[in-house]
Structure 1
Amino acid sequence: MEEWLVELVTKAVKETLAQRTGLKIPVAVSARHVHLSKQHFEMLFGEGYELKKKKELMGGQFAAEECVTVVGKKLSAIENVRIVGPLRKFTQVEVSRTDAVKLGLDPPVRESGKIEGSAPITIVGPKGAVSLNEGCIIASRHIHMSLEDAERFGVSDNQKVSVKVFGERGGILHNVQVRVDKAFTLEMHIDTDEANALGITSGSLVEILK
């Protein structure tokens, strides 16, 4: 199936789910991953190498076939960390707090892209390695919404909301950032620590508290 058609079908499915579930929001659990600049990508994989798509994600992003190893202090490392494409202007590593402990790091909780003053980390690929003075963060939990979704939920871009999680280990997550863009489909992103603590899996439904 053509890539553009896969993306269109995926978007239609998510929009249908949003309509069917009313004001509930589907969750995607985000595992550790890496965003790379072109310069750093070529240092890791070699000049002329191109990322291979494994799975389409929201807003033109994709999970790549390629993975790297990330290394923290005292050479503690985590292997097979997925690259998320396309390439960016900067390199960023997103981990959970549990990952950070294993790596011997203390990264800040940040919105994606805000890496100034974040934790140092080394990335190792098949052709080389890149050592960053900053770039490792724990991504803040957030909800992606289209313009229509934001209107339906009565929220605005960058607003912080509280979210109710259902189920046996359910609870309330505060300080959830709303991100609004015409390219987004309705989805809340949390990391693996948050998901495990509350018994959430990808596809679980949550609700914004008013």
Structure 2
Amino acid sequence: MIPIGVSNRHIHLKREDLDQLFGEGYQLTTAKELSQPGEFAANETVRVIGPKGEFPAVRILGPLRKFTQLEISKTDSFSLGVKAPLRASGKIAGTPGIKLVGQKGELEIQEGVIVAERHIHMTQADAAKYNVKDGDYVSVKSAGERSLVFNKVLIRVKDSYALDMHIDTDEANAAGLRTGDQVEIMK
């Protein structure tokens, strides 16, 4: 069984963008640790402004990354008025941009808005156990009143990962899942 992590809208920032939004050398502060070792939800948020709507407080996740990436659900993309494509994290080339407002400044990112592809983080040992490798796609079955099968679930393998399947709020609501619930890879 694989635990579920429901991922609400959030943003990853690169150093230059954090500096522009919060001030030179600003350091994020930890609100809570996340399921993946070394990752955290920061106390800090940014205002996200799209052509049609906005979100006043989108949580920043740390640590800082090499690129800025806003991860939203399909429903969020309609609310903001952006055509965010379904992408694996980090695959931001050709994606739409958006306006960000922080405590000390604002900026318009030229790309980086995605609907994150559902995925499972696992170690090499987990991958051997499930007979999969990094980049594979699998189908996953949930249980309960709204059970369903998630097809095209990306496998992400790195020994620093903790076993966890990430889905967004749209997917979680459709299946009646919450963080901590469990699913299984179909054989």
Query: d(CA) in 2 for partners of 1:25 and 1:45?
Result: 37
2:36 pairs with 1:37: no
Aligned pair 1:64/2:42, yes or no?
yes
Q: SS at 1:101's partner residue?
A: helix
C-alpha distance in structure 1 between counterparts of 2:143 and 2:113, whole Å: 31
Unaligned runs of 5+ in 1: 1-23
- DSSP-derived class of the 1:131 partner: strand
Measure the CA separation in 2 of the matches of 1:144 and 1:36: 21
Computing the radius of gyration from Cα coordinates, the structure with the larger value is: 1
Q: Trace 1:1-210 onto structure 2 (pairs within 5 A).
A: 24-57=1-34, 58-74=36-52, 76-210=53-187
Amino acid aligned to 1:175: K
Runs of 4+ in 1 over 2 A off after TM superposition: none
CA deviation vs aligned residue, 1:7-38 (integer Å, no higher than 9, x gap): xxxxxxxxxxxxxxxxx100000000001111
Query: What displacement does 1:59 show?
Result: 3.4
Q: TM-score, normalised by structure 1?
A: 0.87
> Percent of pairs identical after alignment?
52
Mean Cα displacement is larger for which, 50-59 or 158-167? 50-59
Q: Aligned pair count?
A: 186
Which consecutive residues of structure 2, in runs of 5 or more, have no partner in the other structure?
none
Give the aligned CA root-mean-square deviation in angstroms: 0.8
Q: Distance in 1 between matches of 2:73 and 2:164?
A: 19
* AA aligned opposite 1:100: S
Farther off after superposition, 117-126 or 26-35: 117-126
DSSP 3-state at the match of 2:113: strand
Q: Specify the code of the residue in structure 2 equivalent to 1:158.
A: G
Instruction: Indicate the SS of the match to 1:67.
Output: strand
Q: What letter is aligned with 1:133?
A: Q
